[in-house]
Amino acid sequence: MSPSTWTPHILVNASTGGGKSVILRCIACQMLHHGSRVFVLDTKRISHLWARGLPRVTCCADVADIHDQLIALGIEGRRRTRVADELGIGADPKAIGPRLLILLEEVNATMKQLARYWERIREAGDPKVSPAGLPPSAVRPNRQPPPPPSLVWSGPRSCFRLRFAPDPQCS
């Protein structure tokens, strides 16, 4: 996989035993080889045991940890957008930071768990929807995708359509 051809969003959708986690592991290993950071968000706790303890890999299995990591990644995404705006169009992407890959296993179930978690911990004055919730453009790929980090969706019943669009920076 060439870094110049990486798409910002990938959906892997297959039935149980269809090889979703194997495909995700291959993508993650290639991205790690090229210096990326990988975040494994897996409430099942068994899909990506290979990643535990590896350098540049963060694994989260508890919904509270996944919630906090998604908030931190959102903050990092906004920081990277500001840096990119400051550096301008011709800037070296490495100046913004390494590529980030988020492996979100069983997205439908995880999003439901995150919503229930937010209902339990939400305090007066907090927004109704968790700040860890994905933006509408991320869950409706026919709209403009959000800025980095990259997302890799996985689940036997993921209700998303995959659409590849050329990256204008790679043209």
Q: In sequence order, what are the residues at sequence separation of 6 or more whose Cβ sits closer than 8 angstroms to the Cβ of residue 76?
A: 97, 100, 149
pLDDT digits (tens, 9 = 90+) for 56-98: 999 999 999 999 999 999 899 889 888 989 998 888 888 889 9
CA distances for 13 relative to 4, 49, 93, 148, 154, angstroms: 24, 20, 30, 21, 6
Looking at per-residue pLDDT, the higher value among 111 and 145 belongs to 111
- Please name each of the domains of the chain with its CATH number: 8-158 (3.40.50)
pTM of the model: 0.74
